[in-house]
Amino acid sequence: MSAYELKYPGLNLGSTDELTHEQAENGIFGFWVFLMSDAVIFALLFATYGVMLSGTANGPTPAGEYKMLPAFIETLILLTSSFSYGMVSVAMKHGAPRRRLLAWMGLTLLLGLGFIGMELHDFATMFGDGAYPWRSGYLSSFFALVPLHGLHVFFGSLWIGVMMVQVLTIGLDARVKINILRLGLFWHFLDIVWIAIFSVVYLEGLIR
């Protein structure tokens, strides 16, 4: 492996598909740049949440609204989905049967949709308690941060569905493989952001 290949910003396909590996270099690197810009947005929202955390305006508080068991289950779901998508990448790299690749993608999709469903239930419970985004600065910052991550998971799930259709209809050509690599980076990025949300938002909310 050359020194240039060692800098490859994604799953290394050089040993199994050298042509796609070469074509992916610029595209995957460009997607890393996009993810870093997305990370800056989340960092700003985390900072805003930290500043507004005490601004409850005598309304609902984090300790009263956060339900730790559902948040913990959501964390396990996303971590499991990260593993299952990792298996998608491994199956693609090593030429596993297409049905195995689709099975791992389908499992990831189901886990993503399960996460979204649980999160929507959490928001509905908060609304039932009168914890609306306009109720206080704290709630405004919460609903700017956490649902944005959920929206990312929704579009990631939609992207998985599109990729499953492409695998079925087009096969694993270079374009499809590169898009699967991009999607993997996006999905793992969402897991990292959620771990930060669980730690900074939910765990810290226990003492507020």
Closest CA to 180 of 96, 115, 113: 96
| Residue 90: predicted pLDDT | 86
pLDDT tens sequence across 12-47:
655 555 555 565 666 677 788 889 999 999 999 999
The CATH number, out of the four listed (3.60.90.10, 3.40.50.1820, 1.10.3720.10, 1.20.120.80), of the domain defined by the range 5-205: 1.20.120.80
3-class DSSP state of 188:
helix
Which amino acid is it at 13? Answer: L
Structure tokens, 19: 């042509």
Q: Is the pLDDT of residue 187 over 80?
A: yes
| Residue 6: predicted pLDDT | 43
Angle between helices 68-93 and 174-197 in degrees, nearest 10: 160
Q: Which residue has the higher pLDDT, 2 or 199?
A: 199
When mean pLDDT is compared over 86-90, 172-176, 184-188, the highest value belongs to 184-188
Residue written as tokens 């969402």? 190
Confidence of residue 207 (pLDDT cuts 50, 70, 90): confident
Percentage of residues in the chain having pLDDT higher than 90: 65
Q: Is the pLDDT of residue 3 over 50?
A: no
DSSP state of 135: G
| Residue 130: predicted pLDDT | 93
Give the count of beta carbons closer than 10 Å to the beta carbon of residue 125: 13
- CB within 8 Å of 190: residues ≥ 6 apart: 78, 149, 152, 153, 156
Q: Are 89 and 181 in contact (CB under 8 A)?
A: yes
| Residue 127: predicted pLDDT | 95
Domain ranges in the chain are 5-205
pLDDT tens sequence across 118-165:
999 999 999 999 999 999 999 999 999 999 999 999 999 999 999 999
pLDDT tens sequence across 83-131:
999 999 888 877 778 899 999 999 999 999 999 999 999 999 999 999 9
- CB within 8 Å of 136: residues ≥ 6 apart: 55, 56, 57, 59, 60
Q: Are 78 and 115 in contact (CB under 8 A)?
A: yes
Give the count of beta carbons closer than 10 Å to the beta carbon of residue 184: 20
Which amino acid is it at 187? Answer: W
Q: Is the pLDDT of residue 174 over 90?
A: no
Percentage of residues in the chain having pLDDT higher than 70: 87
